[in-house]
Each structure stands twice: as C-alpha cells, then as structure tokens.
Amino acid sequence: MDPLKYQRPADRAAVESPEWMTVKLRYKAPDGEKSTLLEVPVKDDPVGWAGTSTDFKLAAGVALFGEKLRGSD
C-alpha cells in the first residue's frame, strides 16, 4: 500500500496546497500481463457550468434524472 499523501503529523505546520486528492487507477489490456498505473491529482480549479463539455452535462443530467426516479431530494 502506498504511504498516505495528504495526512501529516499533528505537530507539522499546515501547508497550503491546491490539491484535493489523487485518483489512482490501474488498468490492463485484455490480453496484457502487466497493469499500468494512472495517477491524476484533483486540484482546486473550479470550472463553471458553461465551461464543461457536452458529455459532462449529459452525464450530470442522467445522474439527476436517476436520483429523481429514486425519489431523492
């Protein structure tokens, strides 16, 4: 297991960082023997609704519709 990236000892001074988290994903080709690590930091870089892609807007709409079907508020 990798060491924790965002946890620090209690006596250490806080450091400002624009990173919120790191998403790590391993994948392997269907006929592959070895996996590949993909590591992407998620930063505090907000994008307004107008700046998002059409695919993202569709995915958000589908997710919202699913929540409404479940009766979620």
The model's confidence at residue 67, banded by pLDDT at 50, 70 and 90, is very high
Asked if 41 contacts 22 with a C-beta cutoff of 8 angstroms, the reply is yes
Asked if 37 contacts 14 with a C-beta cutoff of 8 angstroms, the reply is no
The pLDDT mean for the chain works out to: 85
For residue range 16-50, what is the model confidence (pLDDT) as tens digits? 677 888 999 999 999 999 999 999 998 888 888 99
pTM greater than 0.85: no
CA distance 57 to 50: 9
Q: Is pLDDT above 90 for 10?
A: no
Domain layout of the chain by residue ranges: 19-70
The model's confidence at residue 13, banded by pLDDT at 50, 70 and 90, is very low
